[in-house]
Amino acid sequence: MKKLQQKKFEIFFGTGGVGKTTLATARAVDLALQGKKVLLMTIDPSKRLKDILGLRDEDSGILCSIPSLEGIGTFPQPMKALLMNPQKTIARMGEMAQVSELKSNRIVEILTKPYGGMNEILALIELKMRIDEESFDCVVLDTPPGSHFLDFLDAIEKIKQFFDHRFVEIFTSLGKKVTEGPSKGLISGFMDKVVEFGVNKLLQYLEKVTGDSFVEDFLKALEVIYRSRASFLKGIEMEQVLSRESEATWFLVTSVEQGKMTEAQDIQKSASLKHKRRMNLLLNKTLAHHLTDWQPTGDGARLKEFFVSKESAINKSQSFEDVFDFPEVFAASPLDHVKELALNWRKYAN
């Protein structure tokens, strides 16, 4: 039996409909039942974790304490769960930086909507703030489905590009003007810099399309983001931690269903190009375990051989650090799924 070494961070990613969130939840539950102090966090905007744990919409963005789960039992110490809420993250960042305008800026507000472009960056920042505030034995991170995980990996590059050397002169000027005078002078001075950088035509075009206030709103957005830069740069620190193999385990989740493995391999290849590291494969909804005692003849025997050989071939894949099997769970309740999968996780305990 393969053994799994627990690390501080465990990242779950994969295509939709393969049981990624359920497996991540089951992993957190198993660790919590062992007495570990666990944070289970989801970036997935579908909020399936909310349904599994019985949380409410208003619980998003709040660190919720889960002392027990029906049918599973009471945890030695409560498991913590967090549903990502970009607006609340922005508000916390503004409070920490003493930049109240960050949460009310119109452009920032648009960027923090679902798939608005900032959610992956904010997830890294939110995670860093949480582990700075409270220590955990393990953080289980449920990422967005499919290619959105690649956006999560790209988030750090977005931060670096925004704060890279090409903007140093602009932001140096901004920093001086923030302390020297009113916002009007800041915007006027910054516009001169924007013109120097050759994007004034784009801004003029966008102003015609979006309204007279667009350019001012855009520049104010850059100003408040820059003034809150210490919080944004926390994302870089978090990414560096998640990239270390000594600190984090990456689990690519897929299933034996038609086409899912191909999708998973595409994600694995793309992810490997961004991060030169091996990852584990979680093969969900396998049937070989259920077919052990089935002794069919004729077409039934050929069908059994097909499923067993298919799953065996995946298990022998050389492109993954290791492959862990999770059998199909025949139950209607999501909590029953979590319970059965948590027992399966225990089999792989180190």
Residue 213: predicted pLDDT: 67
Q: Please check whether residue 193 is in contact with residue 169, taking contact to mean a CB–CB distance below 8 angstroms.
A: yes
- Assess whether 35 and 71 both reside in one domain: yes
Q: Which residue, of 232, 254, 270, is where some domain finishes?
A: 232
Mean pLDDT of 6-30: 91
Q: In the chain, what is the straight-line distance between the N-terminal and C-terminal CA atoms, in Å?
A: 10
pLDDT in the model for residue 22: 93
Name the E strands within the chain: 9-14, 38-42, 64-69, 73-83, 138-142, 248-255, 280-286, 323-327
Task: Flag whether pLDDT at 18 surpasses 80.
Answer: yes
Tell me which of 190, 208, 232 is where a domain ends.
232
Amino acid 85 reads: N
CATH number reported for the structural domain that contains residue 254 in this entry: 3.40.50.300
pTM reported for the whole predicted model? 0.79
The span from the CA of 326 to the CA of 323, in Å, is 10
| Cα–Cα distance, 93 to 102 (Å, whole number) | 8
Query: What tokens were used for 302?
Result: 């050929």
Shared domain for 18 and 144, answered yes or no, is yes
Same domain? 189 vs 287: no
Q: How large a percentage of the chain has pLDDT more than 90?
A: 29
Q: Are 133 and 127 in contact (CB under 8 A)?
A: no
Mean pLDDT over the full length of the chain: 77
Q: Is residue 116 part of a domain?
A: no
Contact 29, 22 (CB under 8 A): no
pLDDT at 49: 83
Cβ atoms of residues 286 and 256 within 8 Å: yes
Q: Report the amino acid identity of residue 131.
A: I
Please, what sign has the CA dihedral across residues 218, 221, 223, 226? Answer: negative
- For residues 164-170, average pLDDT: 50
For the chain, the domain total comes to: 2
Co-location of 144 and 13 in the same domain: yes
Q: How do residues 184-208 score in pLDDT, each as one tens digit?
A: 444 445 445 544 554 555 556 556 6
Q: Residue 41 pairs with which residues in a beta bridge?
A: 82, 141
Average pLDDT over residues 152-165: 63
Residues 186, 145, single domain; the answer is no
Contact 282, 327 (CB under 8 A): no
Q: How confident is the model at residue 52 (pLDDT cuts 50, 70, 90)?
A: confident
